[in-house]
Amino acid sequence: MRVLVVEDQDDLREVVAETLREESFAVDESADGEEGLYKALNWDYDIVVLDVMMPVMDGWEVLEKLRREKQTPVLMLTALDQVRDKVKGLNHGADDYLAKPFDLTELVARVRAVMRRKGGDHRPEVTVGNVTINTTAKTLRLGDKEVEVTAREFAMAELMIKHRDEVVTRDFLYDHLFDENDESMSNMLDVYVYKLRQKFGKNFIKTRRGQGYIVESI
Amino acid sequence: MRIFPQSIRWRIQLWYLLLLAGIIAALLVAFYRNQREIKYQVLDRELNNPITRLLPRMERRRELPPRNRRLPRPDPLDGMGVDFEAQSGPGPEGGRRGPGPGPGDRRDELEDRGPTLDEVIGELAEENIFVIHWDREGDVRFASENAPEGLSPLPDGVLGGGDRVSKRTRQGYREVIHASPNRGFLLIGTSIEPIETELSKLEKKLAGIGLLIVGGGFLVGWLLIGRSLKPIEAISDAAHRIAEGDLSQRIAISENGSELGQLSSVLNETFDKLETSFEHQVRFTADASHEMRTPIAVILAKSQFALSRERSVEKYQEALQTCMDSAQHMRTLTDGLLELSKVDSGEFDLRPERGNFEDLTREVVKMIEPLADERGIKIRCDLESVKSEFDSQKMRQALLNLLSNAVKYNREGGAILVGLKKEEGKAHWSVSDTGNGMDAEAIEHVFERFYRVDKARTRSGRSGTGLGLPITKAIVEAHGGMISVESAVGQGTVFRVILPAK
């Protein structure tokens, strides 16, 4: 899952980004609204965490311009916690709202909740065949048995399950699993697919030759 | 207990109505009385008229025996309503002296072709006038057929003087009595019923008219008073809504010239000021809490991040460093807020001592030089000695703010020029930088609390508190000086401070 964090306060942006990375998200950062909007328009993020009060272009403007072209989920992050501002944010097409100062755990939970809602899953647990993923607890189970996975493996499984029954291209996987500073080679994808098949069976991820991969729910 | 209603409208209305009703009633009563008097005067004239026809004929009948009808002697109390007056108009005797043909001629005339006494009485009876004649002893000599029973002449003794004519209204009759020592009493009377009926009709009509006028007056008054009190209602409405919390409410002013219109505009100005200061207060509080939230958010997030799992010593150190930086930022912020709240509450005390502005400026330049060196900025000084009395600690703070801004908003490798000279007994500073400058909007707001020209310009390093320039301004003004700024985008900025040099 790839996240964009747009926040002008360096310390805050860094800690939010780092936290999300530890939650196995691929995280891009922007220190102002203009740059943030540019990135949000040019990559398909799974969610944008957007600060309201920013130099150059504030969060409302970024949101408005983004919404003209894309339905990327947006979580507004701001120091204003008045009801009026929350309503304004939600009316402008924000998917959720979090007032500063916030708990990092709440931020992560909301990020996940927004992405789940956008993906059509309302509960954190989704079962595909005999594989069950819990995005909150960050666990993968084969049948009843929990299987140890690395952060990247989990991220890939999460992304594939979210887009289950769709053919997922390698480019899409690459864009959503690695952030802009990641210099991993695209053949790393093959490694993760191989590892996941090893752990959950050959049929968990199927290859569609010349197109990409697919996780089928039945 | 209040007798009058509380409402001003009702009070004015009541007084106005009382006055109106009083005037109308007085006028109508006067008119009615006048009408009544006129009617009675006409009636009296009608009753006086027959005398000229009766007297000559009575002379002729003097020898006739009195009728056997004897009326009772008058009761002394009967004098009520009797109105004696010396006859000045044409009386029985006076008639002879009056204008027109002489009495002798008239008598001949009457004897020749006039009707008899009975005929005259008959004619008078047709006009509802009755006549009774008593002799000196009070015996009825003759009486009209339509004369009411039980009438009596005047009380005794009246006959003593000369001829008299008296009028009286009694028991529904108006009577004129001619008393003469020779002839006795001649009473000519008529029922006043027709007159009274007419008068009572008039009375009703006048009462109706009076009520109509008062009613109309009530309506007109109600409208007029309402109209003139409308601004008060508007004032009270607006004040109500403002009290309920809607500070944007204003009084709609309809009449600028009136006292209430003037009051309204004064109140509106007051409301404007109230709203502005309230908005300032609200914005200041919101801004202040916003400014506090950011460092709190950093401390909270950073510490939560550090504690979320086992980390390296370097990570912990970095987290602590970030937390400390944020806490320090908060300290600067709260210090600034405290200082400004002192300015607002008038507790901003100065401790002036004698000193030289030049020394102070050099000191501040020295303090700021390391910061300027870091960014390759050269500071050039052009300072004159200016002695004065000032709070050196506060003035140091003010100059430090200006100079650190000049460094912060300068371009890398730029320059700062600090000037100080004495002119007309005043110290003139100028602090010029070679930064990006500001646009007109920024210049307008640059001394406002929490206003930041452009956060992007301070990308290098931690942003300021947004309180530096407001505090500088407060310090300068507390010293009786003024601060101004000149700038244009791309041309750098010059801050000028003028302070009295005592």
- Contact at 8 Å (CB) between A107 and A13? no
Q: Note the pLDDT of residue B421.
A: 92
pLDDT, tens only, A70-113: 889 999 887 666 677 777 777 788 888 888 888 999 999 999 88
Residues in chain A: 218
* A15/B322 CB distance under 8 A: yes
Task: With beta carbons under 8 A apart, name residues in chain A contacting B296.
Answer: 100-101
Q: Note the pLDDT of residue A27.
A: 92
Q: Do B270 and B394 have their domain in common?
A: no
Cα distance between residue B17 and residue B374, in whole Å: 88
pLDDT, tens only, A13-34: 999 999 999 888 889 999 888 9
Q: Do A81 and A145 have their domain in common?
A: no
A104-119 helix and A10-22 helix, angle to the nearest 10 degrees: 60
- Contact at 8 Å (CB) between B293 and B266? no
B184: Cβ contacts below 8 Å, ≥ 6 apart: B133, B134, B135, B136, B137, B138, B141, B153, B159
Confidence label for B184 from pLDDT (cuts 50, 70 and 90): confident
Q: Note the pLDDT of residue B240.
A: 87
Q: Do A109 and A134 have their domain in common?
A: no
Closest-CA residue of B relative to A98 is B297
Q: Do A115 and A132 have their domain in common?
A: no
DSSP letter for each residue of B439-459: -HHHHHHTTSTT--S-GGGG-
- Contact at 8 Å (CB) between B452 and B398? no
Mean pLDDT of B451-478: 71
Residue B88: burial class (beta carbons within 10 Å; 0-12, 13-18, 19+):
exposed
pLDDT, tens only, B12-59: 888 988 999 999 999 999 999 999 999 888 988 888 888 888 877 777
* Number of domains comprising chain A: 2
CATH code for the domain of A175: 1.10.10.10
Distance of CA B150 to the CA centre of its chain: 69
Q: Do B478 and B361 have their domain in common?
A: yes
Mutation target among B287, B294, B459 for the A interface, most CBs of A within 10 A: B294
Task: With beta carbons under 8 A apart, name residues in chain B contacting A80.
Answer: 286, 290
A65: Cβ contacts below 8 Å, ≥ 6 apart: A37, A41
What are the backbone dihedrals phi and psi of residue A206, each rounded to the nearest 5 degrees, phi first? Answer: -105, 150
pLDDT, tens only, B58-81: 777 655 554 544 444 444 444 444
Q: Do A99 and A69 have their domain in common?
A: yes
Task: Decide if A104 touches B, using CB distance below 8 A.
Answer: yes
CA-nearest of B78, B59, B73 to B140 is: B73
Closest-CA residue of B relative to A103 is B301
Q: Do A163 and A204 have their domain in common?
A: yes
Indicate the residue of A15, A55, A79 with minimum beta-carbon distance to B456. Answer: A55
Q: Do B376 and B339 have their domain in common?
A: no
**Chain B: residues touching A (Cβ < 8 Å):** 286, 289-290, 293-294, 296-302, 304-305, 308-309, 322, 325-326, 454-456, 459
Q: Note the pLDDT of residue B209.
A: 92
Report the complex ipTM: 0.74
For residue A13, the distance in angstroms to the closest alpha carbon of chain B comes to 9
Q: Note the pLDDT of residue B93.
A: 44
Task: With beta carbons under 8 A apart, name residues in chain A contacting B304.
Answer: 103-105
Cα distance between residue A140 and residue A149, in whole Å: 8
State how beta strands A2-6 and A47-51 pair. parallel
CATH code for the domain of B282: 1.10.287.130
Task: With beta carbons under 8 A apart, name residues in chain A contacting B327.
Answer: none
Closest-CA residue of B relative to A79 is B290
Enclosing domain of residue B103: 49-191
Of the residues A94, A119, A144, which one is the last residue of a structural domain?
A119
For residue B473, the distance in angstroms to the closest alpha carbon of chain A comes to 25
Q: Do A49 and A28 have their domain in common?
A: yes
Task: With beta carbons under 8 A apart, name residues in chain A contacting B326.
Answer: 11
Q: Do A26 and A110 have their domain in common?
A: yes
Most confident range (mean pLDDT) of A74-83, A127-136, A183-192, B77-86 is A127-136
Confidence label for B152 from pLDDT (cuts 50, 70 and 90): low
Task: Decide if A105 touches B, using CB distance below 8 A.
Answer: yes
Q: Note the pLDDT of residue B481.
A: 92
**B49-53, B147-151, B248-252, B348-352: which has the minimum mean pLDDT?**
B147-151
Indicate the residue of B297, B308, B322 with minimum beta-carbon distance to A102. Answer: B297
Mean pLDDT of B403-432: 91
Q: Do B55 and B136 have their domain in common?
A: yes
Mean pLDDT of B259-264: 81
Of the residues B191, B225, B241, which one is the last residue of a structural domain?
B191
CA angle B213, B215, B217 (to 5 degrees): 65
Q: Which residue has the higher pLDDT, B94 or A101?
A: A101
* A55/B454 CB distance under 8 A: yes
Q: Do A48 and A67 have their domain in common?
A: yes
Is residue B73, in this structure, part of any structural domain at all?
yes
Of the residues B343, B362, B389, which one is the last residue of a structural domain?
B343
Indicate the residue of B296, B301, B454 with minimum beta-carbon distance to A16. Answer: B301
Q: Do B74 and B170 have their domain in common?
A: yes
CATH code for the domain of B394: 3.30.565.10
Indicate the residue of A8, A15, A32 with minimum beta-carbon distance to B301. Answer: A15
* Number of domains comprising chain B: 3
Buried b (16+ CB within 10 A) or exposed e, A186-196: eeebeebbebb
Side chain identity at residue A132, one-letter code: T
Cα distance between residue B293 and residue A100, in whole Å: 6
Q: How many CB atoms lie within 10 A of CB A33?
A: 26
* B302/A15 CB distance under 8 A: yes
Q: Do A137 and A99 have their domain in common?
A: no
Mutation target among A7, A8, A12 for the B interface, most CBs of B within 10 A: A12
Mean pLDDT of B363-371: 92
Task: Decide if A19 touches B, using CB distance below 8 A.
Answer: yes
Secondary element (H or E) of residue A199: helix A188-200
Is residue B93, in this structure, part of any structural domain at all?
yes
* B455/A12 CB distance under 8 A: no
CA-nearest of A170, A215, A172, A214 to A189 is: A170
- Mapping DSSP to helix (H, G, I), strand (E, B) and coil, where does residue A48 land? strand
Q: Note the pLDDT of residue B100.
A: 43
Is residue B385, in this structure, part of any structural domain at all?
yes
In percent, how much of chain A has pLDDT > 70?
Answer: 95
Is residue B11, in this structure, part of any structural domain at all?
no
Q: Do A89 and A6 have their domain in common?
A: yes
Of the residues B293, B327, B343, which one is the last residue of a structural domain?
B343
Side chain identity at residue B120, one-letter code: V
* B300/A12 CB distance under 8 A: no
Secondary element (H or E) of residue B213: helix B193-243
Q: Which residue has the higher pLDDT, A78 or B311?
A: B311
Most confident range (mean pLDDT) of B89-103, B244-258, B297-311 is B297-311
Closest-CA residue of A relative to B325 is A11
Cα distance between residue A16 and residue A48, in whole Å: 12
Of the residues A80, A101, A119, which one is the last residue of a structural domain?
A119
Task: Decide if A31 touches B, using CB distance below 8 A.
Answer: yes
**A68-72, A113-117, B453-457: which has the minimum mean pLDDT?**
B453-457
Most confident range (mean pLDDT) of A40-54, B54-68, B147-161, B449-463 is A40-54
- Contact at 8 Å (CB) between A70 and A38? no
pLDDT, tens only, B190-202: 888 888 899 999 9
Cα distance between residue B422 and residue B384, in whole Å: 7
pLDDT, tens only, B217-237: 899 988 888 888 777 778 888
**B95-99, B210-214, B490-494: which has the minimum mean pLDDT?**
B95-99
